[in-house]
Chain A
Amino acid sequence: MRLLQSTQMRRVLGLGPALGIIGFFMVVPIAIIIVFSFMKSNPYGGVNPEFSLEAYKQFLFERNLMDELVFNAAYLRIFGRSFLLAIGTTALCLLIGFPTAYYMSRQPARRKNLMVFLVTIPFWTNLLIRAYCWILLLRDTGIINNYLIKWGIIDEPLTMLYTNFAIFLGLVYTHIPFMVLPIYARVEKLDFNLLEAAHDLYASRQQLMRHVILPLAAPGIIAGSLLVFVPCLGDFIIPNLLGGGKHLMIGSLIQLQFGGSRNWPFGSAAALILMSFVLIAMMIYVWGPGRKMKPEGDA
């Protein structure tokens, strides 16, 4: 009994700093955001401490010239765009990341480690610097266009920068390590006797993939997808730099409210709405198919 108590004690003490940091640096700011979202905005920035639901109304409705509330899809469209971008990026990352991770896991140990190392190299350089490098590569007078013209493949520069292509390229490029690494970690531990067994039982390649490899890799795929989807949803640096900032993203919308628009309550409300979507995605992960897969994968 005393031993148990002291273990509990130790657990509390050990967890204390982590819980303290999470509590203070996560719960307190979120609490401030929640409170701000129910207040009125101050025209010089900040909030006036009066209760108001204006911020949440503004998300769906606007006042027309007659001062009537009418439905306004602008913010929904911005959210929809960010979602499509995040889903598209996740799908592309999966499409490229899965074969990559599988290939990596099939290499001899030394090469494996080298490849994992190579995947992590981009993290050594700041995201902004890498995004600016893509600008140098993609722009009309950039490196790619210059060489294509020099080699006579094209006459006129291809417009690549400030297009949707550039946005997806940038997003996939920055997020793909988050997809490759969790899948790799999963596939690497895969018991290859199972594959042999499947072959022995006359499984075709497709069947092998569908019934053996994919279910075993599923937790890695789900973890990777979340790690790509969630940051993509809030990303606005890449869409702004490589996409030319022609459309607002959730992230830039929120940032705008705290800056030029001077509407902190609406910025807070938009941040909370975004956060609730992310929470839903997390809950699906925790209680959804991922959980069912786990015991199977651990077997």
Chain B
Amino acid sequence: MKRIAVVMLCLLALLFSAGTAIAGGELFLYNWSDYTAPDLIKKFEKETGIKVTLDIYDSNETLLAKMKSGGGAYDIIVPTHNFVTILIEEGLIQKVNAAEFKGYENIVDAMKGPPWDPKNEYTIPWNYGSTSFCLNTGAYNPAEESMDTLFNPPAELQGKIGMFDSSEENTNLALVYKGYPQCNEDPAQMQEILDLLLAQKPHVKVYSSEGIHERLVSEDVMMSGCWNGSAMRARKANPNIKYMYPKEGILGWADNLAVPTGAKNRENAIKFLEFMLQPENAALQTNFSGYANAIRGSEAFLKEELKGAPELTVPEGIPVHFHPQCSETAIRLLDKVWTKVKQ
């Protein structure tokens, strides 16, 4: 972390010193911390002559608050998909019509025109990841990858299951298993979810969202809810661990590039968006962050340890459910279910 911060600082210092020589204008980028590849920025500056200034935030809430208090200071922001909805509703980001961009066709089909921006009018994908479950295939190896294994565990796995300690993730996985919509407002369907989670509970060893990959590696649990990033780390330490792509689907999250309303350097921002649609550049970002990008052909430029990692590529035909911004009714129902599971 510290080293990265030092690198960033050096980079910033470099930018300022080079600033006088650069005539291509400026770009103010506002991104999550540790989430912008320094090589990427260098390459962009070299190709376009635009001076990039990076500022960072730690949560979507921070981003939203900053945008609400006047976001014009930034040209590009990186909101998570469910916050894109809020930003559009509140008029805080502007239309860029990404479908007309050079390289738009490079976006993989699964991430093109996502539910939060169906025509890519406002955003293009940055990095994305998924939530599913990890299975130790040494303990049990099902013929078919299904969430049935997670929610109706076979005898081999009973008592050796880890689940997230979060009202959202467990419930959302259960909703995917049942084929019900996310952010569910139907009490009858949520009752079924509650019954399902309660029936699973006796077989669950631990509810915790911390140390998931470590518990999998030490084989304290043989199956656990997990994220693709932690799954990859776990597999490197214990090759038996498999990130599952159940036929019912997985949960996804996606961070997106968007241009705030009133951005001062709109043209430069669009140049950056088009730059990010090039496979080589998207790969630079993935190499740095370790999360998948949505650009076709970027695999060729990935570093060796990321190439062909099954955790990064969702197989064809597996639905990815993106959790939208829930209504208050849905949040209350979710809360009731989780309190009842853990009361």
Contact = CB atoms under 8 A, between A and B. Distances in A.
Contacts of A217: none
Interface string A234-276: 0000001100111110000100100011110000000000000
B87 to A, nearest CB: 12
B144 interface: no
Given A74-B340, A260-B166, A260-B168, A162 B206 contact: yes
B292 to A, nearest CB: 25
Contact of A244 (B207, B334, B335, B340): B207
A140 B220 contact: yes
A244 B342 CA distance: 11
Given A43-B328, A74-B343, A245-B206, A261 B335 contact: yes
Contacts of A240: 165, 208
Interface in A125-148: 135, 139-141
B342 A247 contact: yes
A246 to B, nearest CB: 6
Given A244-B206, A261-B335, A141 B218 contact: yes
A275 B205 CA distance: 32
Contacts of A77: 343
A261 B331 contact: yes
A248 B327 contact: no
Contacts of A62: 336
Contacts of B167: 256, 260-261
Contacts, number: 68
A161 interface: yes
B187 interface: yes
Interface residues of A, number: 29
Interface in B296-343: 327-328, 331-332, 334-336, 338-340, 342-343
Interface residues of B, number: 30
B64 to A, nearest CB: 8
Most chain A CB within a 10 A radius of its CB, from B61, B86, B220, B343 = B343
B325 to A, nearest CB: 9
A269 B328 CA distance: 19
Given A141-B219, A260-B168, A162 B205 contact: yes
B266 interface: no
B342 A248 contact: yes
Contacts of B29: none
Contact of B205 (A41, A78, A244, A248): A244
Contacts of A75: 339, 343
A78 B342 CA distance: 9
B218 A65 contact: no
A248 B331 contact: no
Nearest to B204: A246
B187 to A, nearest CB: 5
Interface of A: 41, 43-45, 62, 65, 74-75, 77-78, 135, 139-141, 161-162, 240-241, 244-248, 253, 256, 260-263
The 3 residue pairs across chains A and B that have the minimum distance between CB atoms:
A244-B206, A43-B328, A245-B207
6 contacts: A139-B220, A244-B206, A246-B204, A246-B342, A260-B335, A263-B335
